[in-house]
Structure 1
């Protein structure tokens, strides 16, 4: 089992706090650090019963990860989730590859999703109803640009098109960056199987519903001629989860668990990370 940790937007955008958090996570032995994304919020924006405070500070996750990369050495960089339909994939391919090169191959936990706030889609000029098709097309564009050579590549889709273009630098030492698909819907599960390197569902689902969705992802991979066994399966966990709970996740096929501190004070957050690292025998604190 792999263990990663997320950084909460409620912790703000203090650069010293972000770096200290990432460095301690790395010292503890966490595999990766995840950041979320919202491009804009607005009064009344809600996810189920939770209403987002309009002033909640969501920094740009890729800018933050580039900043973190300069202050760390080993920890992998991730998003959970990057709102893919709201990014132009030609620009995004360049940004992601650049971070990967500058971090010496650590931009490897990219998780993309569709977004749930209609007002956010309107603000960036995207038809909310086309998010799924845009995301599918964007994944194809990202991989095409990363894999393309000096002769250039072309694409003609519903949303994006270009002729004989090249995109450099390339990701560090790989043909393309892994793309994990987030989302608790059956459509997200199928997208993960058809196009993803991993599946990272959120949501408040029952164990039975999660099993159905993992089966959907694997079946979609088979139908697309892909290896279902190569699909990584990431889930959210809690910082105080027991070894027995981790064993239960492993039995469900989970390959990575992402946790976040329950505390808000930096010192208590570090204590929680350290305790988790000790419980699960991650690399010890120096």
Structure 2
């Protein structure tokens, strides 16, 4: 099991010193990775399920934030939870992500993408809300095509993106393409993860039965697409106070990564919560042995 931490910018704020302090303490505790959320714009009346989203919540650009964090840390991996892929053009996004990966020395490795749930957000960036799933599928294909291309260029002719002989450099650091995890709470998201994802990160208030069904769907879709279903990582949200027994139960369900978040908005209390979690799961011990299974990972 790997353990990650999320920085909830809408509730913690965007003070640069607090963001850096949070990331640095997470790194020192042994967390594998740091996740940031995204909303490009909000508006009065925007709803998340039955609840209205306060339009004054502050969502900084997650990729700019992660670049900032990368400059102040050495080891912690960088993730999004989630990046709203249909609202980004994949040609420019490929460049941004590869640049972060190069400048962070290979740490932009937990990109999680989703579709977004706010019709007004899609309209604001000129994207048809109803077709955003197909647009996201094409965008994933374009990202990988550009990362894998050489100086001869690559071409793509799809429903939403069309280009000839493009060369995109720099490339990601030491890999042919960056991992792309798929987030979402629907069976369509599970199928997308199976067809195109390196991992699945479901959210929302799903029943245990629906979660299990979606994981089975992601894996069976991967198998039908000729991909290795066993290689699909399975990430879940967890709580900062969860017990070892709870984590062991989730591991038995196939979960490979837990993402938690501090519940306090006060930096000192956030550090205490992270430290207690790290001690409970032995995360700091993993930093001692650099030849071990990897940053922040622990077998349970």
Give TM-score scaled by structure 2 length: 0.94
Alignment-derived partner of residue 282 in structure 1? 283
Offset at residue 228 of structure 1 (A): 0.2
Offset at residue 50 of structure 1 (A): 2.3
Offset at residue 51 of structure 1 (A): 1.5
The count of residues paired between Structure 1 and Structure 2 equals 286
CA distance in 2, matches of 1:145, 1:45: 34
SS of alignment partner, residue 205 of structure 1: coil
Offset at residue 207 of structure 1 (A): 1.1
Give a deviation string over 1:183-215, Cα, whole Å, max 9, x none. Answer: 010000000000000000001111111010000
Unaligned 5+ runs, structure 1: none
SS of alignment partner, residue 180 of structure 1: strand
CA distance in 2, matches of 1:242, 1:48: 29
Offset at residue 56 of structure 1 (A): 0.3
SS of alignment partner, residue 131 of structure 2: helix
RMSD over aligned Cα, in angstroms?
A: 1.0
Alignment-derived partner of residue 6 in structure 1? 6
CA distance in 1, matches of 2:52, 2:183: 21
Unaligned 5+ runs, structure 2: 289-300
CA distance in 2, matches of 1:104, 1:160: 30
Give TM-score scaled by structure 1 length: 0.99
Give a deviation string over 1:211-253, Cα, whole Å, max 9, x none. Answer: 1000000011011100000000000000000111001100110
SS of alignment partner, residue 39 of structure 1: coil
The 5 A counterparts of 1:170-249 are 170-249=171-250
Give a deviation string over 1:172-192, Cα, whole Å, max 9, x none. Answer: 000000000000100000000
Alignment-derived partner of residue 252 in structure 1? 253
Q: Which has the higher contact order (CA 8 A, sep 6+)?
A: 2
List structure 1 segments (4+ residues) > 6 angstroms apart after TM superposition.
none
CA distance in 2, matches of 1:235, 1:49: 22
CA distance in 2, matches of 1:212, 1:63: 36
Alignment-derived partner of residue 295 in structure 2? none
SS of alignment partner, residue 82 of structure 2: strand
Offset at residue 8 of structure 1 (A): 0.6
SS of alignment partner, residue 164 of structure 1: strand
Offset at residue 49 of structure 1 (A): 2.0
The answer to whether residue 143 in structure 2 is matched with residue 135 in structure 1 is no
